[in-house]
Amino acid sequence: MLHTPELSRVRGTVDFLPPDAALLRSLEQAMHAVLALYAYAPIATPVLETTDLFLRKSGEEIATRMYSFMHWNRRLCLRPEFTASVIRAYLQHLQDRPLPLRLAYSGPTFRYEKPQRGRYRQFTEVGGELIGAAGPAADAEVLAVACGALESVGVRDYRLTVGHLGVALELLGQLGIDERGQALIVGQLEPLARKQADPDAVVERIALLLGAAAAEGDDEAPDGALGELLARVGPETAERLATELLAHASLPLEGSVRSPAEIVQRLLAKAARPDPTPQVRTAIEFLQQLHGLAGPPAAALARLDALLRAYRLDPAPLEEIEAALSLFAAYGARPGEVVVDLSLARGLRYYTGLVFEIYDDGPDGRLQLCGGGRYDDLVRALGGRDAVPACGFSIGLERAKLALDRHGAVPPPARPVQVLVVPVEAADRAAAVAAAQALRAHGLRVELDLRGRGPRVALRHAAREDVPLAVLVGEQERAAGSAVLRRLEAGEQATVSLDELPAAALRALADGAGDGRHA
């Protein structure tokens, strides 16, 4: 049976048409200009990367949302973010450059998420990474560049939320929760803070994933008794028993990547390990307290200081936030509101220090425009020779546009065409091209009439498309080396020599035949 399927966009993607696409490009250029002012040099990395790059340190949240696929037996993906790619490029090519290194980027990123307003599956990130600089001075610079880039396109009254992963990570370390557990817990901070997740359910789920005994009534649990028995007889006997069991109970392990010794060892280690549930619960409760103490910097820092003392945690992260924010103030950025919230986790697993997010609060809810922070372990995790401190940010370009839309702050689009050049007859085409080129050489946006249906039709088209000027070239003008310059709105026209045409056109535009923008 024959049927022609409709060709349509892939769900969750957008076609940006004129003039929106031009606007997005101009926003992107403005942000790049700000990055350039702070000496961030552009870098371009491929959209296509190995999936593994992002699985190493980006966290589960990203893993399930990646466009990942096998291509001739290699696992590839469309980049879900830039930081890991930029660090990979740094490791491959730039490790010998003097530090710090400032890099700027922009381009499409891809995440398989539920599409909704302001959330597309392909979106554009504009951002920068500052590699090889530690401490509040670097953090403050990154904050300032991010705010500066947003302000440069007209974003106002945004809310800047600052947090620090140091506190959460130290507490989790103290509780003896391993790296995997830390990642699982940190990954839940965001849903917990947004009240999208029930704390008890989160504790239970994470504890289960960390090896807590399954709840009663779980008919899936097949054993667990063996470990308990072995734990009772003491390590030496246990090891002998387990090894014997594997050797004689015809439990074949040929072909297995795991040796009997390894299995026995893990079995014993597991039996000796306590139930992680109380630790997980303590951690989640503490992190919820952190969220409860969020607020304006001075007040929040004071309250948090008391809490950290009570838990005997290092107050250094608070000092870092304070130092970074006071330096940040010197840059003169103008956020509408600054909030300190230590439960901010950013969903990406690689952050280690100060983290921040920038929001636009509108009548229809908050819109995240930007996120960033410090990731001192990432270079090492991706195979760097040395540990290199680094931080960065990235802005969602389409989000920034949406924020401007919400506040009616979108700049009027530039006129795509300033001058329409019309050859009267086919024989006048070469002369018309010469006139058009002369105008373009002076930076004017020129459309050459290709319809060949005569000046009247061409002029009607120009009026309809709001083109302010027309240049007509006929037999007479061709012979005289001149052209007719017509101001459409005024209906006035004059014959000018080709040499003077660009200057005359510029004058006419400046006179109000159109200032280059739609009214």
Partner 1 sequence: MPRPAGRQPAEELRLALPSKGMEDETLRFLAACGLSVDRSNPRQYRATLRNPPGVAVLFQRAADIFDKVDEGSVDLGITGYDIVAEHQREDDDVAVLYRELGYGRCALVLAVPDGWLDVATIADLAEVATSLWNKGGELRVATKYANLAREFLYRHGINHFSIVSSQGALEAAPTMGYGDVVADLMTSGVTLRENRLKTIAGGTILSSEACLIGNRRQLAASETKLRATLAILELIEAYLRGRDYLSLTANVRGESEEVVARRITAHEAIAGLRGPTIARVYPKAGGERDWFSVTVVVHRDALLAAVEHLRKAGAAEVSVVDVHYVFEHRSSAFAALRRQLGVRVRGGQTPGPEELLVGRSPVGEF
**Residue ranges in contact with partner 1 by CB under 8 A:** 1, 3, 10-11, 55, 60, 63-64, 75, 180, 183-184, 208-212, 214, 218, 220-224, 226-227, 242, 245-246, 251-258, 260, 263-264, 266-267, 270
3-state secondary structure of 7: coil
Nearer to partner 1, 68 or 418 (CB): 68
Q: Crossing angle, helix 199-209 and helix 277-292, to 10 degrees?
A: 140
| Nearest Cα residue to 368 out of 332, 350, 394, 392 | 394
d(CA 403, CA 361): 9
At its nearest, how many Å lie between partner 1 and the CB of residue 268? 8
Q: In angstroms, give the least distance from the CB of 199 to partner 1.
A: 18
- Give me the amino acid identity at 148: G
Give residue for tokens 């309250």.
Answer: 303
Minimum Å distance from CB 48 to partner 1?
A: 19
CB of 258: closest distance to partner 1 in angstroms? Answer: 7
Minimum CB distance to partner 1, residue 238 (Å):
11
The neighbour count for residue 382, using CB atoms within 10 Å, is 16
Torsion of CA 12, 15, 20, 25, to 10 degrees: 90
Q: Which is nearer to partner 1, 94 or 231 (CB)?
A: 231
Report the C-alpha dihedral over residues 372, 374, 377, 379, rounded to 10 degrees: 70
Q: How far is the CB of 187 from partner 1 (least distance, A)?
A: 9
* Residue 514, token pair as written in the block: 């159109």
Nearer to partner 1, 203 or 421 (CB): 203
Q: DSSP secondary structure string, 391-456?
A: EEEEEEHHHHHHHHHHTT-PPPPBPS-SEEEEESSGGGHHHHHHHHHHHHHTT--EEE--S-SHHH
Least distance CB 1 / partner 1 (angstroms): 6
Q: Which two tokens stand for residue 208?
A: 């289960």
| 212 versus 496: smaller Cβ distance to partner 1 | 212
Q: Indicate the residue among 51 and 109 with the shorter CB distance to partner 1.
A: 51
β-pairing, 67-71 vs 419-423, is unpaired
Partners of 483 in beta bridges:
496
User: Is the CB of 253 or the CB of 299 nearer to partner 1?
Assistant: 253
C-beta closer to partner 1: residue 61 or 129: 61
Angle subtended at Cα 172 by Cα 168 and Cα 178, rounded to the nearest 5 degrees: 130
Nearer to partner 1, 3 or 464 (CB): 3
**Least CB distance from residue 2 to partner 1, whole Å?**
11
3-class secondary structure, 167: helix
Q: What is the Cα–Cα distance from 305 to 318, expressed in whole angstroms?
A: 7
Angle between helices 316-330 and 297-310 (to 10 degrees): 170
Q: What minimum distance in Å lies between the beta carbon of 208 and partner 1?
A: 6
What does the block give as tokens for 139? 């953090």
Nearer to partner 1, 66 or 324 (CB): 66
> By C-beta, is 3 or 312 nearer to partner 1?
3
Sheet of strand 469-473: strand arrangement: 446-448, 419-423, 469-473, 482-487, 492-497
- Residue 373 CB, nearest distance to partner 1 (Å)? 21
**Of 109, 111, 108, residue with least CA distance to 67:** 111
Closer Cβ to partner 1, 75 or 97, answer by number:
75
> Sign of the C-alpha dihedral, residues 413, 488, 435, 456?
positive
Give the shortest CB-428-to-partner 1 separation in angstroms: 51
Shortest Cβ distance from residue 193 to partner 1 (Å)? 20
- Strand 419-423 and strand 446-448: the pairing is parallel
For residues 459 and 486, what is the distance between their CA atoms, to the nearest angstrom?
9
* Nearer Cβ to partner 1 (251/494): 251
